[in-house]
Amino acid sequence: MSDDDSEPNRGAGRGGDANHAASGPAVPPHKATDPSTPLVASPTRAIRRRARLPALSPEAAAYAAEAYAPATIAAYQADCAHFEHWCAAEGRIALPADLDTVTRYIVAHGETLGRATLGRRLVGIGFAHRVAGAAWVGTHPLVKATLRGVLRKHGKPARQAAALMTEEVRLLVATCDGSLAGLRDRALLLVGYAGGLRRSELVAITRDDIEEQPGGLRIRIQRSKTDPTGEGAFIGLAPGEHRATCPVRALQAWMEASEADVGAVFRKVSRSGRIAFEGLTPGAVRRILLHRAALAGLEVAMTERLSPHGLRAGFITQAHLNGASEEAIMAQARHRDWRTTRRYIRQAKVVTETPAKRLGL
């Protein structure tokens, strides 16, 4: 998902007022008088200008603009762009959006959007309203009732990321040869899996974050989804039992080949074998995973999806099945709430610890 700075097509205008009946029929406040008239305000523009408030000094505005991760802002802008296009086509005002507009939007997309996508879009639209100082009706009981009714009738289970465990990771790294791209991808996949890392954390690792110790490697995670203010945390990587799947050896081999003494560890590699200075983006991790999965012929169930998050989910699942304690898993995954860790573990127990085994069938 890109952080597109282009303006979406805007077509809804300001609605009429009953006090102007002499100049024509009254127009409901949620409708536009002319589809070619610009919107009262644009949610995507409101997000881009979220820190441009007169009350803020330039310095404070610069920091306020950094309050959210770029990926979060990009997702919010994409969600708002979808909403704006729909409002333009329907002749409705996108900001401030009234109760009728929001509930109609939910109904219009209840059959086509998954529950997670629809819910996230409402969060993004609400964020745009808040930063614009506009009232948001998303918490209104009728909005909640409409959303709940749509999900009861059309909702489907969300497609979770398939847990990629040791067997799948072996298949993936088997496709990585001794080329620079192969060495990088092998290290990327193994460190992501053994470290239980999010893709944003993986690509943010710098050479200074890695410290060799007698028992393996200690890696500093400077910031994460649950640590946006940068308190930092450390994780450990231990040598693997097999050379081909050892995360420590793989990372050391890549760093030696790339000569990455400073800056990002995981970097772009051109087709000619040139290593760029800039690091990979989170989106690149997904492309690399899909590429390696295609080479390995790896497929997942129809009810699941192939995603970099599967490496993190697979780490938690495999570690639990192999006897690691919940406390150790939670520490490595850096979950702030034990219930998050247990949600993954419960999924691992569905088959391995099902009471159906005790029925004597």
**pTM of the predicted structure, to 2 decimals:** 0.70
Give the per-residue pLDDT at 173.
95
- Evaluate whether 18-154 and 166-352 have a shared fold: no
Q: Which residues of the chain have pLDDT under 50?
A: 1-40
Q: Residue 206: what pLDDT?
A: 92
At 27 the pLDDT is: 35
DSSP codes, 176-245: --SSHHHHHHHHHHHHHHHHT--HHHHHT-BGGGEEEETTEEEEEE--BTTBTT---EEEEEPPPSSGGG
- Give domain 166-352's CATH number out of 1.10.150.120, 3.40.50.1980, 1.10.443.10, 3.40.1160.10: 1.10.443.10
Which architecture does CATH list for 18-154? Orthogonal Bundle (1.10)
What pLDDT is attached to residue 24?
A: 35
Look at residue 289 in the predicted model and tell me its pLDDT: 95
The residue ranges of every structural domain in the chain are 18-154, 166-352
**What single DSSP character describes residue 305?**
E
In this prediction, residue 113 carries a pLDDT of: 84
**Token code pair at residue 205:** 């690792």
Residue 329: its pLDDT value, please?
86
Tokens read off for 1 = 């998902």
